[in-house]
Chain A
């Protein structure tokens, strides 16, 4: 349904372009949830935003590669076609439910506007439609809610409104960028359950951008792990949790506090993620990797340097650990 092919993106800043994302490839299929996982600054949000060409407003340029929506390149789409796709076919749910809603318009007017625009309904039909979807996400007092402004809602309610807004346009695919990060744990749990229910019922494809392995464990079918602008590992959710192959994935999973026994110190990855523009020549992770050899530092490593039926890792040392 959605295919990102060999995509590289660069940040344009004062006449210089810095490569931020390099040769990303991933596929989202109908009814499946793909988790795009990595730490801050690894390029996961840039990749997700590129699907709707949102990065262009912030000086992000495509260097090479393509993004295909049902076989059609999003970079070749006309503005009109792109507008119809955004929200209508591919909806986005952002991390900050506080900033994604306009504070000076009521919930109702914001929902009715997009519903009329995309579905061509009359004002009263659009209102009915909005109420239906607000109720669907568990906001029972939907009629009253339409007249309220975003500031009178809690973070969890705002996130529900955004989900209702996204779902009301009958998208085929949802891009969710850290949809639960800003919320309390109990609210998180309910939003996760809601997203899973809607995704299953409507057989949606979903790209879930997150740094949180808990969320990945809850929601994803497939996982792509990014580090410093590259995909370092991809596979099914069980591949990643039970047999992480890339040393970075292994280290990242091991950093979680719940992974150690009482009194033990946590596993750490020494040093920090290199910023775009300062990537090492060979494997991006090699300077921090305990298994790195000379061969890792000479030239770029292929994404499928190691593979085993759909499970791939960008590492030449995976074989040895068996």
Chain B
């Protein structure tokens, strides 16, 4: 086991959408374990708290309660300096490949950022070499590394985002809806890439998604969230073929059909 979340809870207080004194429990008593090299998917609809869990795990926001444990070490109370070191092990890929790259940085600089922190001994040409290797690993030609983000399509930008996360050789990738903004043909390319990388490097994925067919394809285990709570957890096969909780059953029933013959006649 590499990563464990214990009884995570996040309460938002009077933010942009809340009146003064009002509270919103976004995540309530969420626990899970992520094992080396496996993919755990968190599924749920908007507002279920799944992205909040991702941000808590990364400590991009602080938990109101609960603990995140990394190989026996408590992440929740790490100092800023310790956290910085810790981020070598756990990296994140975001949903929107258009918003997650700095438009004023050449892409090799964006990808190399992690190396400046985690491998400060490397000089510029060594860093460039590593970036070139990683970009090629992610399906981009090394000759593109001097370009800027706007010169790339959505799918290519997501490849850059993945290369940027992988460059420090993390043990865990937190992926927040990594293919939701992509066309189905590009989505297939990225999903295959993620599967290859996992087989190759043994990275564990915490995969946040609302798309059940994507989850079924990529995940080993699934956590279903509803209104901040985990309502069901199990292997992909169990959750998809023998859903126990009513919410999971409804979610599965709402999946889009795959052939016109499945149409239910309307009354």
- Measured CB to CB, the residues of A under 8 A from B are 39-40, 155, 184-186, 188-189, 193, 196-197, 200, 211-215, 217-218, 220, 237-238, 241, 251-252, 255-260, 265-270, 272
Q: Which of A186, A200, A218, A255 contacts B185 (CB 8 A)?
A: A255
- Residue of B with least CB distance to A240: B260
A39/B184 in contact, CB under 8 A: yes
Main SS class of interface, A: helix
Stretch of B64-72, B90-98, B104-112, B209-217 lying at the A interface? B209-217
- Residue of B with least CB distance to A214: B256
Say yes or no: is B263 at the interface (Cβ < 8 Å to chain A): yes
Could you give 24 example pairs across A and B, Cβ below 8 Å? Answer: A40-B154, A40-B183, A185-B251, A185-B255, A186-B254, A193-B266, A197-B266, A211-B183, A212-B256, A214-B256, A214-B257, A217-B263, A218-B257, A218-B263, A238-B260, A241-B259, A255-B184, A256-B258, A257-B191, A257-B213, A266-B217, A267-B188, A268-B189, A270-B189
A218 to B257, CA, bound (A): 7
Point out which of A200, A214, A241 has the most chain B C-beta atoms below 10 A from its C-beta. A214
Contacts A184-B45, A186-B251; A217 near B258 (Cβ below 8 A): yes
- Apart from A196-B266, A214-B258, A217-B259, 14 more pairs, CB < 8 Å: A184-B45, A185-B210, A188-B256, A189-B254, A197-B266, A215-B256, A217-B256, A252-B184, A256-B184, A257-B187, A257-B217, A258-B217, A265-B195, A272-B153
Q: Which of B187, B192, B266 contacts A200 (CB 8 A)?
A: B266
Q: How many residues of B are counted as interface, with CB atoms below 8 angstroms from the partner's CB atoms?
A: 36
- Residue of A with least CB distance to B214: A257
CB distance from A178 to the nearest CB of B (A): 12
CB distance from A39 to the nearest CB of B (A): 4
A252 to B89, CA, bound (A): 36
CB distance from B247 to the nearest CB of A (A): 10
B192/A185 in contact, CB under 8 A: no
CB neighbours (8 Å) of B200 from chain A are none
CB neighbours (8 Å) of A252 from chain B are 184-185
A68 to B32, CA, bound (A): 59
CB neighbours (8 Å) of B184 from chain A are 39, 211, 213, 252, 255-256
Say yes or no: is B34 at the interface (Cβ < 8 Å to chain A): no
CB distance from B260 to the nearest CB of A (A): 5
B46/A184 in contact, CB under 8 A: yes
A241 to B259, CA, bound (A): 7
Say yes or no: is B246 at the interface (Cβ < 8 Å to chain A): no
